[in-house]
Structure 1
Amino acid sequence: MTQGAPGTTRAESLSTPKAAGLAGVVFAVLLAAAMVLARIALPGGAGGEQVEIAPGRRGALTTALELVPFAGIAFLWFMGALREHTGEAEDRFIATVFLGSGLVFVACLFGAVAAAGTVLDAEDPAGFGRHFAYTLLTTYGMRMAAVFVLATSAIGRKLGVLPRPLILIGTLSGLVLLVVGSTLPWSELVFPAWALLISVYILRAARRSP
């Protein structure tokens, strides 16, 4: 655990992973809720020629779109928690992949919300806008999430900052997200579930710190 900036007390430094770990929990809950609402509103997914909103489920989709930006903001704090937990001895190559995939994932989240929000109430007979937003989030966004999970697991294994069960779960989760992607309904919930496990572990580790 790093000591923090000069003039920062040990207690103040330790409060950072605790607060950011809570942000990870918030991210996992918000993203999972948004994904569940989106799946309810778009039961057919993107497998057909157009993405159809289920009758009477437009409000659920609107709520999901409103939750995603807050999930993205919480995810940035979650990334900070993971970097704080690894300390200063991080591999530059893996850290670059870690940061890059995390930032691209957030960009996919915001891009999907912007695209979906633009065409939600517009006349779009072919459903192109909704199809684009859905694909950006569940295909490209989840692929970046997979890279993020695998990079985090690699950092945890190399530096020994994560227990072996979490490393194994992270590796399996990353492979599922990378290979399966959006082809298996509800598979995207693997990412917030993994984030919740990591956040709980960081909070427990911070509580055990002297």
Structure 2
Amino acid sequence: MQTSTPPRQPLQTPRAAGVAGIVFALLLAAAMVLIRLGIPQGADAVSAQRPDPAQLSAVRAALMLVPFAGIFFLWFVGAVRSHVGDAEDRFMATVFLGSGLVFTATMFAAAATAAAVLDTAHPAGTSPSRPTWDFGQHLAYTLMTGYAMRMAAVFACSASVIGHRLGILPRWLTLLGFLTTLVLLFVSSAVPWAELVFPAWSLLLSAYIVMESLRRSPAAPAAPAA
């Protein structure tokens, strides 16, 4: 006799996606805030002062958060794709997955190069020289605001298109995703703090997924009568 395994409950995946997305959004927002506090003048400003220990501590704290943000982001992407399954065409699924992977890789590259500049280009316990600090500052900002945020824009746009086509996202959240795309494409590299719209959008999307999962969670089936 063949034994059948119970079917997987479909609402477990979107709930996991929402929780992972919330953790990712909070970690990424914290890392971005620490970077802005540690390097407040931005990548294009030139200061004659050397970076102080408080700035270096803020940057190092941000760099420690980036790997964990990337891990939860990959979990978020995988859970969403598992939930969508074959309902979406290959084109949008490829754009969604590819932009998420490139965003993660670029974010990791920015964090790794910044950490290398801080840890290896000067004696331990001292601040990096002004040219070294400027190089690391420009490189980190260029990778994050110039490249990673563009991939984040593609990710937000593809996720909004998929959610609209499948009817799983409300109209206001879809429009917010498109607005986030425009900000990340054309504003984030020029306006300080504009990159925070991506973790804010991710937080709203993830919170909506969790609330919808809880609201539609089926009641436990009653035991059959003897």
TM beyond 0.5: yes
Match of 1:143 among 135, 139, 150: 150
Q: Identify which range, 130-139 or 58-67, moves more after superposition.
A: 130-139
Per-residue deviation, residues 180-203 of structure 1 (Å, max 9, x unmatched): 122111001000000001111111
* 1:41 maps to amino acid: G
1:195 aligns with 2:192: no
Alignment of 1:118-137 (within 5 A): 118-121=116-119, 122-123=121-122, 124-126=129-131, 127-137=134-144
Alignment correspondent of 1:98: 96
Aligned to 1:154: 161
What are structure 1's unaligned runs of at least 5 residues?
1-5
1:89 to 87, 90, 96: 87
1:41 and 2:49 matched: no
| Matched residue type, 1:199 | S
TM superposition shift of 1:159: 1.7
SS class of match (2:161)? helix
Who is 2:64 aligned against? 66
Q: Which has the larger radius of gyration?
A: 2
In the alignment, which residue of structure 2 is the partner of 1:179? 186
TM-score, L = length of structure 1: 0.89
Q: How big is the shift at 1:143? A: 0.6
Distance in 1 (CA, whole Å) between partners of 2:67 and 2:8 is 32
How many residues are paired up? Answer: 204
Contact 2:152 2:198 in 1 (8 A): yes
Kept after mapping to 2: 8 A contact 1:101/1:148: yes
TM-score normalised by the chain length of structure 2 = 0.83
Unaligned runs of 5+ in 2: 123-128, 219-226
CA RMSD of aligned residues (A): 2.1
Name the residue aligned to 1:3.
none
Q: Does 1:209 align with 2:209?
A: no
